[in-house]
Amino acid sequence: MAILNVTPDSFSGDGQLDVRSAVSRAMRMVREGADIIDVGGESTRPGAERIAAKREVQRVVPVIRAIVKQTGIPVSVDTYKPEVAQAALDAGASIVNVVRGTPVSTRLLQVVKRFGAAVVLMHMRGTPRTMQSRTAYRDVVQDIVDELKKSVEKCRETGIKKESILVDPGLGFAKTAGQNLEIIRRLQEFRVLGRPVLIGPSRKSFIGKTLDLTVEKRLIGTAAVVAASVMNGAQIVRAHDVREVKQVVTMVDAILAA
């Protein structure tokens, strides 16, 4: 899953506000091996401010519509707002990547159900402004599993098919650096949810803290986390650096299949 930010304030500094530039970047990521393009119109970096749904729609819809016209691969929208999800699905997206998947909005799930879309439930506590004050867990993995389980059950109660649900432990969202590392080490434990696990470590601050590196120098650290995550059961990897991460995943898959 390739990350395409159409925001001016992405933590990784890769936001594309011009539609033509965003679509060109998406096409390059497809050539580099992306299987899904994930389009986001609101930054979720720590401390980020919420923007109006109307503004988010204006950012993502033209980009999604253009990508869908030019490629046959699935497009997802990274949002938690029902209005944005509906507009994106109308424009041709087929996945809603819900950054606030615990708890998850009933209205949002109703939109997903109506379109027959897939949904990624990402674990998060609070909002981007408050999440880093909510890192107290009894057992970080078990608590996340329990909270994701409730959201999976809510999806099923809404009428979303089981095979349309994915889960994401939410690295960096209401977690300390040490907790992120523990989640990766114990990723196999998320199998109890019975759904594919998506992992998004790309360029995140826990890598920077571990290696004492700024965001633009975290590719090798990201690659190491991706390799460990796939070895431990991750089935989808969300990344900025598509060509390099694709090589990592292909190599680990070859090892696992040997």
| Residue pLDDT, tens place only, 46-63 | 777 789 999 999 999 999
In this structure, what token pair is assigned to residue 158? 């809404």
Of 46 and 232, the structure prediction assigns the larger pLDDT to 232
Domain extent for 132: 2-257
Confidence of residue 255 (pLDDT cuts 50, 70, 90): very high
Catalytically annotated residue among 25, 65, 81, 238: 238
Whether 81 is catalytic: no
CATH code at position 158: 3.20.20.20
Whether 204 is catalytic: yes
Q: Residue 159: its pLDDT value, please?
A: 98
Q: Could you give the number of structural domains in the chain?
A: 1
Rounded-to-integer distance, Cα 209 and Cα 38, Å: 26
Of 66 and 127, the structure prediction assigns the larger pLDDT to 66
Kindly report, residue by residue over 90-124, the tens digit of the pLDDT: 999 999 999 999 999 999 999 999 999 999 999 99
Helix (H, G, I), strand (E, B), or coil: what is residue 168? strand
Catalytically annotated residue among 204, 217, 218, 246: 204
Which of 16-25, 149-158, 196-205, 227-236 bottoms out in mean pLDDT, i.e. has the lowest?
Answer: 16-25
Are the beta carbons of 149 and 167 closer than 8 angstroms? no
pTM score, whole prediction: 0.94
Rounded-to-integer distance, Cα 55 and Cα 86, Å: 14
Q: Residue 14: its pLDDT value, please?
A: 59
- For residue 238, the number of C-alpha atoms closer than 13 Å in the C-beta half-sphere is 27
